[in-house]
Chains A and B, each alone.
Chain A
């Protein structure tokens, strides 16, 4: 047993910390969020130069061959500084789908560019009536000649508005809800028949609803095997879920630090409010939440890296997500409450952390969804 970080991990954490300090203070983030694109290509390029974009990509395609555990310091920094550049969309989802399922040609074309920070990706999967159910795909890909024609609608595609390349799930067989019959396609965001409605999301990032009407793609656009994309999708979404658990660690650390500082400095009735025992105990509970989330994030990241068995992987990821979602909710709500009215304001960073934590609690499945996935497995075991 060893929970110490390797020297490489410590160096990585230090270089991200320098990046945040130099290039990503809260005012800078505010300006980026308010810009038309909602993220900064310059900052993204800088992050790539630090090795962050290639961290979890194969060495033979310009990456460093790392896993979720290696990405933990990156995700914690992203959570702490509320970085809005498309790390989960591009590295956590898009590039993972290509790296794990793509042809040699696709990997050669896409992954080095991702690692260099020159190409961003988005995964267009969620549909209107799916909630978090990954099998609920109604978008259809019909074979035509030497390719396919896509028709359907995707919702809340994070970074979908500005990604250079979309990865779209569609049915090549079966019907909505079937585990079989799903395939993945690379689609240019500017391809004829693609209509993108972009908008701001709760956490200050941008996403899009995307309509595909008779969008033609070639055979070479397919990622992985026809009809059998679901296991790949599940593995990659679990990977991204583990990453946002690690992101929650950083966001909760910030929320707790800010709240603790406020309790020590805010004076009412002639004393700091942190001197009231009723509030002290609440702060202690938040501190315990932080430790528990660190533990569950580690479990989830190690799980997606090492678990060969899909059922075992799902179990740890769901367990972590339930615990993390509950902590996100509690910490976010309490940090605002303990800040009083100030915690409600756009001006204070803690209200932005509140929003990101609220999003993390729901992203890739809320506590109820993952509890159900976990309980379903428990029933199957017995």
Chain B
């Protein structure tokens, strides 16, 4: 068939000239504007505090790049899906802090689609400017993968709801100003459980809210339990209509999440791993020269190459505006497996030194880095559990794609 144009596939793996120019613009801007202290913390696997996240948020907001996917009237950029992907990839690769998605990506998308003009005017500008941090009140102790069985109740009394119950695994609740919650305003946690769920916005300063940390095995503070004890929430803070919260939740699940694979971050970490393995010695020889280690590294790199192409193919598929479906699940599964593989190989590269998880005076740069590796390996076990466990993602593909 060589030479027969009829059978040639019109495949072009290259970005267009305009897309390349955009990528270069983003890359140049990041190298000039990403503060070295923040980048240093990110690439050395150290946790960032609220002030540091807000600092980066406001730098992006000042540039007009903090919420590219929003409608233009609220500060969005009208970027194509390819541009949005390139922007995320460049930010991840450069070592920019990852901004929490709960306000910028999630609550905002819900407000744009379902919010009243008054709700949009009240919340969107503050999210854009980084004035309010948001968290997500979905999971409950008895409702993880089976989210619709949630029991936190909201009862309408006059012009406000009275909320009682408990949320758990609430990421960043301890530094958040607001929480969006799925609550039960009717129906039954057992039968027809999707009915009677409402989407409620709650000020974290409201009396009756208690936040308690859940300490994870790496010792870090990121997730919490949030308790609601007769918490009064103005009725105009329900989004969409009462009882239609499940529609909102489903919209959010299907909302564009084509960055879920975190390609840019993984590319940077793979390069970091190679450099670290070149510096590490095994019996005095560079670890990178050990064929067994090299093979592990190469396999991970190949997985990442495959996922990068898969991600681009999916993006190409949605250029026309079609809604992503189970593709997002696949990106989440493979992306998190690669992220975990990277943390595991970094820890393996450190060898016996990886056991040292505390620092002391006089350590060199690599020793300081090594102290983060095992805790990070532990912490990253969460990636295959959170945001819809990988088991749930496989269920979605089985049902929606394969029809099983």
* Interface residue? A275 (CB, 8 A): no
- Please tell me if the beta carbons of A132 and B357 are within 8 angstroms of each other in the complex: no
How many residues of chain A have a CB within 8 Å of chain B?
Answer: 49
B389 / chain A contacts, CB cutoff of 8 Å: 337, 340
- Please tell me if the beta carbons of A131 and B214 are within 8 angstroms of each other in the complex: no
Known: A129-B281, A129-B284, A197-B360. A207 touches B355 (CB 8 A): yes
Of the candidates A129, A279, A358, the one having the most CB atoms from chain B within 10 angstroms of its own CB is A129
B209 / chain A contacts, CB cutoff of 8 Å: none
Q: Which residue from B168, B219, B381 sits with its C-beta under 8 Å from A336?
A: B381
- Please tell me if the beta carbons of A279 and B391 are within 8 angstroms of each other in the complex: yes
Give 1 or 0 for each of B350-363: 1 = CB within 8 Å of chain A CB: 01111111111010
* Interface residue? A315 (CB, 8 A): no
Distance in angstroms from B92 CB to nearest chain A CB is 23
Q: Which residue from B169, B356, B390 sits with its C-beta under 8 Å from A156?
A: B356
* Interface residue? B348 (CB, 8 A): yes
Of the candidates A203, A341, A351, A363, the one having the most CB atoms from chain B within 10 angstroms of its own CB is A341
Considering the chains assembled together, what is the distance between the CA atoms of A347 and B357 in angstroms? Answer: 19
B347 / chain A contacts, CB cutoff of 8 Å: 358, 362
* Interface residue? B215 (CB, 8 A): yes
- Please tell me if the beta carbons of B356 and A199 are within 8 angstroms of each other in the complex: yes
* Interface residue? B22 (CB, 8 A): no
- Please tell me if the beta carbons of B292 and A202 are within 8 angstroms of each other in the complex: no
Within 8 A of B (CB), among A316-343: 333, 336-337, 340-341, 343
B12-20, B142-150, B245-253 - the one binding chain A: B142-150
Within 8 A of A (CB), among B183-238: 190, 214-217, 219, 223
Known: A337-B381, A368-B293. A176 touches B355 (CB 8 A): no
Q: Which residue from B281, B351, B359 sits with its C-beta under 8 Å from A362?
A: B351
* Interface residue? B317 (CB, 8 A): no
Residue on A nearest B292 in the bound complex, by CB: A368
* Interface residue? A189 (CB, 8 A): no
Considering the chains assembled together, what is the distance between the CA atoms of A189 and B355 in angstroms? Answer: 21
Considering the chains assembled together, what is the distance between the CA atoms of A190 and B145 in angstroms? Answer: 55
A209 / chain B contacts, CB cutoff of 8 Å: 356, 360
Considering the chains assembled together, what is the distance between the CA atoms of A366 and B359 in angstroms? Answer: 24
B290 / chain A contacts, CB cutoff of 8 Å: 368, 372
Q: Which residue from A345, A354, A362 sits with its C-beta under 8 Å from B355?
A: A362
* Interface residue? A43 (CB, 8 A): no
* Interface residue? B282 (CB, 8 A): yes
- Please tell me if the beta carbons of B283 and A345 are within 8 angstroms of each other in the complex: no
Interface residues on B, range: 35 or more
Distance in angstroms from A140 CB to nearest chain B CB is 16
Considering the chains assembled together, what is the distance between the CA atoms of A133 and B352 in angstroms? Answer: 11
* Interface residue? B374 (CB, 8 A): yes
Q: Which residue from A133, A340, A346, A354 sits with its C-beta under 8 Å from B385?
A: A340
Q: Which residue from A200, A202, A351 sits with its C-beta under 8 Å from B354?
A: A202
Distance in angstroms from A291 CB to nearest chain B CB is 25
Give 1 or 0 for each of B380-396: 1 = CB within 8 Å of chain A CB: 01101110011100100
List residues of A whose CB falls within 8 A of some B CB: 126, 128-133, 135-136, 155-156, 176-177, 197, 199-203, 207, 209, 267-270, 278-279, 333, 336-337, 340-341, 343-347, 351-352, 354-355, 358-359, 362-363, 366, 368, 371-372
Given A133-B282, A368-B290, 10 further pairs, Cβ under 8 A: A128-B281, A129-B284, A155-B352, A267-B142, A268-B146, A337-B384, A344-B381, A362-B355, A368-B348, A372-B290
| 12 pairs from A and B in contact (CB 8 Å cutoff) | A128-B281, A131-B282, A133-B282, A199-B357, A199-B360, A207-B355, A268-B145, A269-B145, A340-B389, A344-B385, A346-B219, A351-B378
List residues of B whose CB falls within 8 A of some A CB: 139, 142, 144-146, 149, 168-169, 190, 214-217, 219, 223, 280-284, 287, 290, 292-293, 296, 347-348, 351-360, 362, 374-375, 377-378, 381-382, 384-386, 389-391, 394
